Every structure is written in C-alpha cells, then in structure tokens.
Amino acid sequence: MTIGFIGLGIMGRPMAKNLIKAGYQLAVYDKFAKFDDLTALGAAGGSSNRDIAAKSDVIITMLPNSPHVKEAVLGQEGVIESIKPGTILVDMSSIAPAASQEVGAALKEKGVAFLDAPVSGGEPKAIDGTLAIMVGGDKAVFEKVKPILEKMGSSVILVGDVGSGNVTKLANQIIVALNIAAVSEAFVLATKAGVNPQAVFDAIKGGLAGSTVMNAKVPMILDGNFKPGFRIELHIKDLQNALDTAHNLGAPIPLTASVMETLQGLKTDGYGQNDHSAIVRFYEKLAGVEVRK
C-alpha cells in the first residue's frame, strides 16, 4: 500500500515522517516546499497532486485552508484527475465544514471515500505523534485507515458524518483561543498587582483553573518565547471559519468574535507569525506591563 501525502508544512512534514518511521511507503508532494528530507528517508517524490493520486491507495492532505484543499483535490492537475475508484482520501487540514462536504461529494461521484480528520496539538505533538485527531465520515472507511491515523495521533475519534470532524475542530479552536485570552487577562492582572506570575501559575495550575492550554502556554509567556507552534494568523483562519459556520447555522458566538478582534489587532501590530500565546501581548500593551519571570 502506498500513502500519498500532500502538504508538507509545519504540521504535515513531521506527520509524514512518523508514517515513514512506522514502515509505510509514502509518495509526497508540496507545491511550495522541498521534500528532499523525506525522499532521503525513503519516500517517493511526486511532481503534482495529480501524480500523487495516480500512485496512491490512500491519500492524506494537510493544507492551510479550504481554498488550498479544493485546489489540490478538485483543481487543475488536482487529485480528482487521476484518483482511482476505491481510494480513500483523508483531509487532515482544518477547513470549513461546508468545504469538506463539497470535496467529499465530488469524490463520491468518482467512487472515492472521503474523511475529514483535522488535528489538534500543534507542531510538538505532530513531531512526537500524539495529536488529537477528530474524524468525520463513514465508520467502515474510518476503521480501514484508523491504524494509519494512530501512527500520527494518540487520540483518534470518529465524531460523525463528513464535515463533523471540522465542526469538532472549530469547537476546539474556540475553546483554545478563549482559554489563552482568559489566561492572558488573569496573568496581566496578577503582574500589574505586583504578584509574581510564576508563583500564580504554580498555585493555580493544579486547581479547577488548570488546563492543558495553561500548562502549555504560560511557560512560553513567562519566558517571552512566542516561537510558533501554532501561529496567530492560522488561528484567525480557524476562528473565521467558526464565525462563518456559526452565522450560517444561526448559533451566536460573541466571545469568539471578541477574541477574533484581539487576534486581528495583534496581526496588525506585526505579530501574525507569533504563536497564539502572544495573545498576552494585547493585554500587556493595554496594561503597560509584561508577564515574565
């Protein structure tokens, strides 16, 4: 079996490496990035999305947003031009649920099964193969590729039909963004009051306020380390998809809209490439303090 892997960015590259390490034969391609490191590990290089589809039994896409997935799969020289009936395509990108359903419907006409399977955990968990993977699609198809997904994630859960994987990811991204914003407000307040933020972290991380998000992001904030595991500009993309989906469904999400404006302000200030833990910079600027050790 050959797995085609399209999209070798911050997340896709280590995910592909984990599949190679697990013994799978990969064919890889990225329109904008070199992949010599992967071919050096034994992967076959591709010349286009169409080329990858012709070589593969299972295809994984890991791309930035809905337009990129639609171009790679449905566009000129796209996967759909050469994909074989019976192939399974797993899109692990974080995109709009409606886009997942559109791509899935187009592939179904070609006799191709489709799953949307976005991930959470950022670059560190992509590297160590412990991503949370939330999957939408047919259960029988899911069971066929679950062993592959388990080489990239420690949690692989089928949540419903096609599109529900990305609905779940949007819920995840809302919670993460609001959690970081709450942490930022709280630690700026503590710092402004003259209380050591490291001591505050040590005191509350084991209580009800503790969270995976706080444990991951507060140490970065205290070190002033905003090297991206997940960039602000990508979180903006996810929250825009959340807002669009919510508006279409008639489900108000006012807190998400508020954090979106914070992220947009940070992007305007030149922090779009920073990790989303840099949400704290917005509150630091307002209060005139820095939350550091």
Q: Which residues contact 223 (CB under 8 A, 6 or more apart)?
A: 292, 293
| Angstrom distance (rounded) from CA 213 to CA 123 | 14
Q: Which of 169, 192, 227, 285 is catalytic?
A: 169
Alpha helices, DSSP H only, in 25-163? 36-40, 49-55, 66-74, 97-108, 122-128, 139-149
Q: Nearest Cα to 92, choosing from 33, 13, 27, 21?
A: 13
Tokens in use for 125? 């968990």
Residue 30 phi/psi, 5° resolution? -145, 130
SS3 of residue 191 by DSSP:
helix
What phi-psi label fits residue 147: left (phi over 0), alpha (psi between -120 and 50 degrees) or beta?
alpha
Q: 119-120 and 131-136: which strand pairing?
A: antiparallel
Half-sphere exposure of 264 (CA within 13 A, CB side): 8
Inter-helix orientation angle 97-108/232-249, to 10°: 80
H-only helix segments in 159-288: 164-192, 197-204, 212-223, 232-249, 254-268, 279-287
169 is catalytic: yes
Evaluated on CA atoms 132, 157, 253, 163, the torsion sign reads positive
Give dist(CA 52, CA 48) in Å, integer: 6
Question: Which residues are identified as catalytic?
Answer: 169
